[in-house]
Structure 1
């Protein structure tokens, strides 16, 4: 009987601390933070900086794929000229990218 009690007390002493059970969960959260959440936050900040820095004359691509030249910038909207004499208003947050002046190059079928 004494041997059974001694074996039971040594088994309890060998158990890991309670915080060790949380260690894998904390590790997974850290991995998600550094691989998914943090880069996405950087992309958001870069996009917001691009949109905030819009100026008249910039060529942009909207989220819908419309390419146009900015003719007027407002707090919320940007007016884009998509063809000669054709202007549309777009919400600034839907502007996907600012095209660099030489990036468009010549059309493939010219």
Structure 2
């Protein structure tokens, strides 16, 4: 009689653990990688915003980033608006010759 009761107790715990490993844990890992990417931004990095704007970082503040998107066109965006890093400006020039 104790086995069905034990099973009824362990089943929800096992389902919660499975849910955590399949859904919640990958989100935590992804959020950590994104935060590391945002913390590693430097002047000269070429980035893409979440809105699809490509630019080069001119200045960084704790909350904002100034991007040069074209000659004479600078914009300021939230640091959290950076979606991807394409690399440093120096790296892109050396990569074009390869």
1:70 aligns with 2:46: no
**RMSD value, Cα:** 1.8
Question: What pairs with 1:8-87 in structure 2 (closer than 5 Å)?
Answer: 14=1, 16-87=3-74
Aligned to 1:22, the other structure's residue is in SS state helix
Using the TM superposition, give the Cα deviation of residue 21 of structure 1 relative to its aligned residue in structure 2, in angstroms: 1.0
Aligned to 2:22, the other structure's residue is in SS state helix
**What TM-score does the superposition give when structure 2 sets the normalisation length?**
0.81
Query: Gaps (5+ residues) in structure 2?
Result: none
Higher helix share: 2
Q: Which has the larger radius of gyration?
A: 1
Higher strand share: 2
Query: Gaps (5+ residues) in structure 1?
Result: 1-13
For these two proteins, the number of residue pairs brought into alignment is 91
Larger RCO (alpha carbons 8 Å, 6+ apart): 2
**What TM-score does the superposition give when structure 1 sets the normalisation length?**
0.73
